Amino acid sequence: MSQTVAVLDIGKTNVKLALFDHGRLLWEKSAPNSIRPGPPYPHEDVESAWRFFLDALREAARAHRISAIVPTAHGAAGALIGEDDLAAPVMDYEFADVDAIEPDYAALRPPFSETLSPKLPAGLNLGRQLAYQKWRCPELFANAKHFVGYPQYWSWRLSGVAVSEVTTIGAHTDLWAPRQGQVSSLVKALGVGHLLQPMRPAFDPLGPIKPDIAAACGLAPDTPVFCGIHDSNASLLPYLVSRQAPFTVLSTGTWVILMSVGLSLDQLDPRDDTLANVDALGRPIACGRFMGGREYAMIAGSGGNADLGAIERVIASGAMALPCFCGQGGPYATTEGVVRGEVAARDRAALATLYCALVSDLMLTRMGATIGDLIVEGTFARNLPFCMALGALRPAQRVFAAKDAAGTARGAAMLAQWPPSYRIAEPGPIDSISIAGLDSYHKAWTATVDGIAR
**DSSP class per residue in 134-181:** HHH-HHHHTT-SEEEEHHHHHHHHHHS---B-HHHHTSS-SSEETTTT
**Distance separating alpha carbons of residues 282 and 259, to the nearest angstrom:** 14
Q: What are phi and psi of 416, to 5 degrees?
A: -75, -10
Which amino acid, one-letter code, is at 19? L
Closest CA to 454 of 357, 354, 352, 362: 362
Rounded Cα distance between 405 and 337, Å, is 28
Higher pLDDT, 3 or 320: 320
Query: In percent, how much of the chain has pLDDT > 90?
Result: 90
Q: How high does pLDDT run on average in the chain?
A: 95
At residue 90, the pLDDT reads 98
Four-point Cα dihedral 431, 434, 436, 442, nearest 10: 100
| Pairing between β-strand 428-429 and β-strand 35-36 as defined by DSSP bridges | unpaired
Above 80 in pLDDT, residue 200? Answer: yes
Residues listed for the chain: 454
Residue, of 121 and 190, whose pLDDT is higher: 190
* Residues 385/353, Cβ–Cβ less than 8 Å: yes
CA distance 202 to 403: 25
- What confidence tier does 2 reach under pLDDT thresholds 50, 70, 90? low
When pLDDT is cut at 50, 70 and 90, the band that residue 452 belongs to is confident
Output b/e per residue, 35-46; b: 16+ Cβ within 10 A: bbeeeebbbbbb
Tell me which H or E stretch contains 208. strand 205-208
Question: Cα(372)–Cα(369) distance, rounded to whole angstroms?
Answer: 8
User: Chain centroid to CA 15: how far?
Assistant: 14
Beta-bridge partners for 247: 261, 373
Average pLDDT value for residue range 116-132:
96
pLDDT band at 248 (very low <50, low <70, confident <90, very high): very high
Q: Provide the 8-state DSSP code for 28.
A: E
Amino acid at 413: A
Sign of the torsion formed by the C-alpha atoms of 405, 408, 413 and 417: positive
Pick the more confident residue, 279 or 327: 279
Domains and CATH numbers, the chain: 4-227 (3.30.420.40), 232-450 (3.30.420.40)
**Helix spans in 254-383 (H):** 292-300, 308-317, 348-367
Nearest to 379 by CA among 256, 260, 287: 256
Query: How confident is the model at residue 405, as a pLDDT?
Result: 67
State the CB neighbour count (10 A cutoff) for residue 340: 11
pLDDT tens per residue, range 125-162: 999 999 999 999 999 999 999 999 999 999 999 999 99
CA neighbours closer than 13 Å in the CB half-sphere of residue 29: 12
The predicted-structure confidence for 366-419, as pLDDT tens digits, reads as follows 999 999 999 999 899 999 999 999 999 999 999 999 987 678 899 999 999 999
Q: How far is CA 63 from CA 26, 70, 213, 214, 224, in A?
A: 10, 19, 18, 15, 19
The H-or-E segment that residue 238 falls in is: helix 231-240
Buried b (16+ CB within 10 A) or exposed e, 50-63: eebbeebbeebbee
The Cβ of residue 194 has, within 10 Å, a number of other Cβ atoms equal to 10
30-48 pLDDT per residue, tens: 999 999 998 999 999 999 9
Instruction: Please provide residue 2's backbone torsions phi and psi, each rounded to the nearest 5 degrees.
Output: -70, 140
pLDDT confidence of residue 1: 47
Give the pLDDT of residue 375: 97
Instruction: Give, in order, the Cα–Cα distances in Å from 451 to each of 328, 332, 364, 442.
Output: 19, 11, 19, 14
